[in-house]
Amino acid sequence: MAYIWINPVTAGMYEKEELNVFLQEHGYKRFETSIDWLTIIKDKYLTAVKQSKSPVIDVRCPKAKELLEGMELKSEVTFPQIYPILIHCGQEGSGRKELQNETKIITTPCQALADMGIPLGQGELPKKNEETKTPVTQKPAPTKDNDVVISNGVVWPLSNPKVKNIKGKVSGVQLIGEDNEVVKSVAAGTVMYTGVYRGFGEIIFVQSKTGLIYAYSGLGTVKAKKGEYILSGDEIGKTSKSGDSSIKFMVFQNGKPIDPAKAPRG
């Protein structure tokens, strides 16, 4: 039995008990730290921002730090000496007597940090979940959808949006609509996470019965609730009222982005 610590960002995408059962069935036992490192790290950054006269860089992202350190910035910036949460949790796990002779795994949703070790990728859970006898609880698939809008033959979360492709490690599309426009789900599934996600603003993750993850980010307001089962065409939020009427739409299969235009609808 290997002991595994799941990063809070990743863990927040799944129901706690179902995640624990899944891990146990695959030979892992989840352990949690006795100290709330997440709150401690956040408080350290808030303190650094208040005390610094220059912009504070979030050094938890190695790629961002490496990029900025190599740039000729017009103004000075502060790189606070604050370790990422997984460092603290790894140290605590290593020092716990009951875990000293056991295999321990620390996970992270950050690829740059993942390159430093061999974590369990967050994209593996939906794929393996289809094979386990304890699937994520979902309602039966809907027999009919609510009203959805098709643009250029493709169902998008917005009505008649301008579509721009986004390339990179997290590829997808940018959909430009109207201010305060209703955002609709394009596929039925369970809402796994809602809230602010690093670099993406307000985001909603929806897992379909096939294991695909549909991500709607940059929302102005969020209506969907974690754990809720939604149908294709349900209102899940709205675009911003502040003039940025665009959202980013991404679809993931086994943790890797796929073409949102070709992802199943309904």
pLDDT in tens, 96-111: 887 777 787 777 666 5
* Long-range contacts of residues 63-70, Cβ cutoff 8 Å, at least 24 apart: 63/112
DSSP class of residue 231? Answer: -
Percent of the chain exceeding pLDDT 70 equals 75
Query: Per CATH, is 150-262 categorized as 2.70.70.10?
Result: yes
Q: How confident is the model at residue 4 (pLDDT cuts 50, 70, 90)?
A: confident
Q: What is the pLDDT of residue 122?
A: 36
**Distance from chain centroid for Cα 212:** 13
How do the domains of the chain map onto residue ranges? Answer: 2-36+83-129, 150-262
Lowest mean pLDDT among 7-11, 30-34, 60-64, 98-102: 60-64
Distances (CA, A) of 172 to 175, 232, 249, 252: 10, 19, 6, 9
CB neighbours of residue 51 within 10 Å: 10
CA 211 to chain centre: 15
Query: Residue 29 in contact with residue 4, Cβ under 8 Å?
Result: yes
- Percent of the chain at pLDDT > 90 equals 24
Mean pLDDT for 21-43 is 84
Confidence of residue 239 (pLDDT cuts 50, 70, 90): very high
Name the band, by pLDDT with cuts 50, 70 and 90, for residue 15: confident
Residue 223: CB partners within 8 Å, gap ≥ 6? 235, 236, 237, 238
Task: Give residues with Cβ within 8 angstroms of 181, minimum separation 6.
Answer: 158, 159, 238, 239, 245
pLDDT in tens, 107-153: 766 655 555 443 333 333 333 334 333 333 333 333 333 444 445 56
Confidence of residue 218 (pLDDT cuts 50, 70, 90): very high
Q: What pLDDT score does 183 carry?
A: 95
Identify the CA nearest to 232 among candidates 161, 170, 155.
155
Choose among 196, 179, 199: nearest CA to 246: 179
Helix ranges (H only) for the chain are 8-11, 16-25, 37-51, 62-69, 85-95, 111-114, 124-129
> Is pLDDT larger for residue 191 or for residue 242?
191
Give the E-state strand segments of 73-188 in sequence order: 104-106, 150-151, 154-155, 162-166, 172-176, 182-184
Q: Mean pLDDT lowest for which of 27-41, 68-82, 88-102, 191-205?
A: 68-82
74 falls in which pLDDT band (50, 70, 90)? Answer: low
Beta strand 221-222 with 229-230: parallel, antiparallel or unpaired?
Answer: unpaired
Average pLDDT of the chain to the nearest whole number:
77
pTM over 0.75, yes/no:
no
Q: Which of 11-15, 17-21, 30-34, 209-213 has the lowest mean pLDDT?
A: 11-15
pLDDT category of residue 244 using cuts at 50, 70 and 90: confident
Task: Answer yes or no: are the C-beta atoms of 151 and 145 closer than 8 Å.
Answer: no
The CB-side HSE value for 194 (13 A sphere, CA atoms) comes to 14
Q: Is the dihedral angle over the CA atoms 74, 200, 264, 232 positive or is it negative?
A: negative
Contact yes or no for 212/251 (Cβ under 8 A) = yes
